[in-house]
């Protein structure tokens, strides 16, 4: 009897076991669905095993309160889609790659026809997605190319494919991204991999989390929108203009919108190492004030500037802030540009949202306050694909300053000074009209009288400075190798600005006074 019962029990267990197995599988399947759709557990069971949440996904799940996220994937790997689809709905963004034969110089030419004398400047196309094909997103995830010269950290990255991916992500954020409940403040961009995005587009101030293999940004949408309104490079001016006759040009600012409602703005210059440029700084301030500016005037000065000169500079209109100078790592000892990296201190003026930096050997001829609307970094072209750092629109930021101080040890400066360094630090910049920073330089064989046009907004006095010459003619003519810089008409313009100053300030520009400063 017992033997028979045991046999029956064995048979019953044999029959029930497959049913139990099916129930267990079904329960596991339902549990898996619940974990994906409801709780977003830290361990999600898929058909092939387990996927652990990463620090990046954990951060976003917390920010979105564990609700499903609409995710756009740009230039990512297949495994990225597998990893992120468990956290919401993912869409791969498709776009044609920029042609492989495109070079940085195609988008950053040395010269363009700003006045449209022969033709209207255009930029070669960089393919973008068809944004209308996609729904709105809460998060964009991307892998940005490291760049073609990432091995040589002595140079800034100038890679067109990298620029394309950054612009695709930026345009996607501006055009198709939305936060939870359409809150524009809750939008995120995740960059996977070891290489950072272009900091000219995605600001270091917007970086909220950085680990070894990812970076998460919460972009300021108004600032980012202004960035995507800029041309893809300096192949076009950063703003359109309307030509009215030969001597009158009006720039059209209507398409640009300041990303801040009540921005704090200032003109800034720097004096360091000697008092050689005190006269120039006094004249610069007076020339700006004569244009009826509404902006602050701020001068950064190191301890080489005496109290007597400081009082004169304050009388001229400058608010003075003390700085410690910064040595240029690639300048020779005793060279004129040995301490030119002191200019980097302008990024520490965090009490201002935007500044226009101007070298002290510049005078302003007409009001240029409207140009504060342009984003960092906007400047006038110098040569090749480079900008001139004598007049720049920048956005003060302590994190940018810290990054620049770190980069100065690795990035090489072609001229040993700040201009060479800044051109490697900010390879994506925006072209301002040359009238805003017209170098007093004349190529051989052109414009033999060395006259400057009347449409200029500012003159930059390279070469021997006007305050070191007699007022009746430009002393650059006295030196054959300085004829490139000589212009009696430009020289006279500076002295006109000088003569509008109070007599007590003019004393700092007398030849005897300047000679004393030069010693």
User: Among candidates 377, 330, 376, 324, which has minimal Cα distance to 154?
Assistant: 330
Report d(CA 69, CA 75) in Å as an integer. 19
CB 407 within 8 A of CB 332: no
C-alpha pair distances (Å), 53 with each of 50, 57, 216: 10, 6, 15
Helix boundaries (H) for 317-459: 398-407, 418-425
Report d(CA 280, CA 516) in Å as an integer. 15
Q: What is the pLDDT of residue 301?
A: 99
User: Among candidates 87, 192, 98, 211, which has minimal Cα distance to 137?
Assistant: 87
Q: Where in the chain is the domain with CATH 3.40.50?
A: 55-229
Burial of residue 241, with CB atoms counted within 10 A of its CB: 0-12 exposed, 13-18 middle, 19 or more buried: middle
| List of residues 6+ apart from 40 with CB closer than 8 A | 53, 61, 66, 86, 87
Backbone dihedral angles phi then psi of residue 427, each to the nearest 5 degrees: -80, -25
Tell me the pairing of strands 241-243 and 249-251: antiparallel
pTM, to two decimals = 0.86
Neighbours of 480 (CB within 10 A): 6
Q: How far apart are the first and last CA of the chain?
A: 123
For the domain made up of 55-229, give the CATH fold: Rossmann fold (3.40.50)
Q: Where in the chain is the domain with CATH 3.90.550.10?
A: 265-507
User: Among candidates 228, 121, 118, which has minimal Cα distance to 167?
Assistant: 228
Q: ω into residue 348 within 30 of 0, thus cis?
A: no
Report d(CA 76, CA 143) in Å as an integer. 5
Burial of residue 13, with CB atoms counted within 10 A of its CB: 0-12 exposed, 13-18 middle, 19 or more buried: exposed
Q: What is the pLDDT of residue 179?
A: 52
Backbone dihedral angles phi then psi of residue 457, each to the nearest 5 degrees: -100, -25
| pLDDT by position in tens, the chain (length 519) | 444 444 444 434 334 444 444 444 454 444 444 433 323 333 333 333 344 678 999 999 899 887 788 999 999 999 999 999 998 999 999 999 999 999 999 999 999 999 888 999 999 999 999 999 999 999 999 999 998 755 567 899 999 999 999 999 999 999 987 654 445 557 899 999 999 999 999 999 999 999 999 999 999 999 999 999 999 999 999 976 555 444 455 666 666 666 677 899 999 999 999 999 999 999 999 999 999 999 999 999 999 999 999 999 999 999 999 999 999 998 888 888 899 999 999 999 999 999 999 999 999 999 999 999 999 999 999 999 999 999 999 999 999 999 999 999 999 999 899 999 999 999 999 999 999 999 999 988 777 778 888 899 999 999 999 999 999 999 999 999 999 999 999 999 999 999 999 999 999 997 645 444 443
Radius of gyration of the chain (CA): 30
Which tokens belong to 82? 């597998």
Report d(CA 410, CA 412) in Å as an integer. 6
CB 176 within 8 A of CB 137: yes
Helix (H) or strand (E) holding 511: helix 511-518
Q: What is the pLDDT of residue 21?
A: 46
Neighbours of 89 (CB within 10 A): 14
For the domain made up of 265-507, give the CATH fold: Spore Coat Polysaccharide Biosynthesis Protein SpsA; Chain A (3.90.550)
């Amino acid at each position: 009897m017992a033997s028979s019962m045991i046999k029956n029990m064995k048979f019953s267990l044999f029959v029930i076991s497959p049913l139990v197995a099916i129930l267990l599988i079904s329960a596991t399947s339902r549990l898996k669905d619940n974990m994906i759709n409801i709780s977003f557990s830290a361990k999600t069971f898929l058909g092939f095993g387990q996927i652990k949440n990463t620090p990046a996904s954990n951060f976003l799940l917390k920010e979105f309160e564990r609700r499903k996220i609409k995710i756009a994937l740009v230039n990512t790997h297949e495994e990225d889609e597998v990893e992120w689809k468990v956290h919401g709905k993912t869409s791969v963004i498709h776009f044609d790659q920029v042609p492989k034969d495109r070079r940085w110089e195609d988008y950053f030419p040395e010269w363009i026809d700003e006045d449209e004398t022969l033709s209207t400047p255009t930029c070669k196309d960089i393919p973008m997605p068809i944004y209308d094909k996609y729904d709105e997103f809460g998060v964009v995830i991307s892998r940005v190319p490291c760049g073609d010269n990432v091995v040589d950290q002595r140079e800034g990255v100038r890679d067109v494919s990298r620029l394309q991916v950054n612009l695709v992500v930026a345009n996607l954020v501006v055009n198709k991204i939305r936060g939870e409940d359409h809150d524009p403040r809750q939008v995120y961009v995740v960059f996977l991999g070891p290489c950072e995005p272009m900091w000219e587009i995605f600001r270091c101030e917007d970086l909220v989390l950085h680990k070894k293999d990812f970076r998460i940004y919460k972009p300021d949408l108004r600032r980012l929108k202004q960035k995507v309104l800029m041309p893809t490079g300096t192949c076009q001016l950063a703003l359109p203009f309307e030509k009215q006759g030969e001597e009158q040009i009006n720039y059209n600012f209507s398409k640009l919108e300041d990303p801040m409602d009540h921005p704090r703005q200032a003109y800034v210059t720097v004096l360091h190492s000697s008092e050689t440029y005190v006269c120039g700084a006094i004249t610069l301030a007076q020339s700006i004030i004569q244009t009826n500016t509404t902006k602050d005037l701020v001068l950064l000065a190191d301890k080489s500037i005496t109290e007597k000169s400081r009082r004169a500079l304050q009388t001229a209109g400058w608010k003075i802030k003390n700085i410690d100078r910064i040595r240029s790592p690639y300048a020779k000892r005793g060279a004129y540009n040995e301490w030119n990296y002191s200019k980097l201190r302008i990024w520490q003026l965090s009490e201002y949202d935007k500044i226009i930096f101007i070298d002290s050997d510049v005078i302003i001829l007409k009001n240029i306050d409207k140009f504060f609307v342009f984003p960092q970094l906007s400047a006038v072209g110098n040569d090749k694909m480079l900008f001139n750092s004598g007049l720049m629109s920048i956005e003060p930021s302590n994190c940018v300053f810290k990054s620049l101080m770190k980069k100065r040890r690795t990035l090489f400066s072609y001229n040993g000074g700040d201009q060479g360094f800044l051109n490697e630090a900010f390879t994506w910049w925006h072209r301002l009209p040359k009238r805003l920073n017209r170098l007093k330089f004349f190529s051989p064989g052109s414009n033999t009288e060395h006259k400057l046009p009347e449409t200029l907004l500012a003159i930059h006095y390279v070469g021997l400075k006007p305050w070191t010459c007699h007022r009746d003619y430009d002393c650059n003519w006295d030196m054959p190798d300085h004829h490139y810089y000589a212009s009696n008409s430009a020289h006279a313009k500076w002295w006109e600005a000088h003569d509008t100053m109070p007599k007590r300030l003019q004393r700092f520009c007398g030849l005897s006074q300047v000679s004393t400063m030069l010693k």
